[in-house]
A = this chain, B = another copy of it.
Amino acid sequence: MAKYERIANELRAQINAGQPGPGERLSSETELATRFDVSVPTMRQALGVLKAEGLIESRHGTGTFVRAARQPVRRTPERYQWEKDRVRLTDAERAVTGATEKDTGLEMSDLDFSAEYEPTTADDRLARVFGVAVGTSLLRRSYRTRSRSESAPISLVTSYLLHDVAKQNPMLLDSANEPWPGGTQHQLWTVGIELDSIRDEIAARPARADEAEALGIDTEGVAVFELTKTSVDTTGRVVEVSYVVLPGDRTVFDYTTQLRRWEES
């Protein structure tokens, strides 16, 4: 076994035993290199393994720290039905909480929210998903939701609506109206759309450098989920497509499949 692997294993065991504990600082790289009797680059290689595992993170100019446990987000499909059920409640009732709060158990006041709207056109991929021609006008909306107590976003969302659909309610074209109480399903309702089904397609890949930074997961090497969410209305038309990037180390998707009973025999 290589030196760096042996050192990584030893450090991992120490950290799992709580020495140092979550949030605490490790010794500096030079100190550790001396302690383990290896060169600094080798020591850095060992630390790189633990970084990729999400166990530690480095802050430039400050030190290397054991990552604290983060607010876990459990994401279940019930959120979709729950959001639908709320669409036709009053504004006041809807304003109380949004879907993100349902997942995290956080209060609305703990969450920070930012949105950017931008007109765009359908590329190959989007045209295929929506079933429209390449170049069709779309409205792109980018969201970040963030827990105030944690400073790092919980998700990065890019959502696409058909511009022809959205423009029927001019309020939908202006990001100043976000956060919209009741979410996207309520927005769609204002232009007469009822959703029939929502499809989640979930892939996993390493975070790109910019995503890692945005999600507050130091450097690359940490896994993210890429969720493609396709919403279909009651006429069978695709009305919204979202790409959601979620940090792999703090997100769990949770789906229960109900099976049909065997007929009594």
Contact = CB atoms under 8 A, between A and B. Distances in A.
Interface stretch (A92-100, A112-120, A154-162, A198-206): A198-206
A237 interface: no
A246 B228 CA distance: 19
Interface string A204-220: 11101100000000001
B257 A53 contact: no
Interface in A118-146: none
Nearest to A41: B41
Contacts of A253: 200-203, 253
Contact of A202 (B53, B197, B202): B202
Interface residues of A, number: 47
Contact of A194 (B194, B203, B262): B262
A258 B196 contact: yes
Chain B CB within 10 A, most for which of A5, A253, A257, A261 = A257
17 contacts: A53-B205, A54-B206, A81-B259, A84-B259, A84-B262, A87-B262, A196-B258, A196-B261, A197-B256, A201-B252, A201-B254, A203-B248, A204-B251, A205-B248, A206-B206, A223-B223, A223-B224
Interface of A: 5, 49, 52-54, 77, 80-81, 84, 87-88, 194-206, 208-209, 220-225, 234, 248-249, 251-262
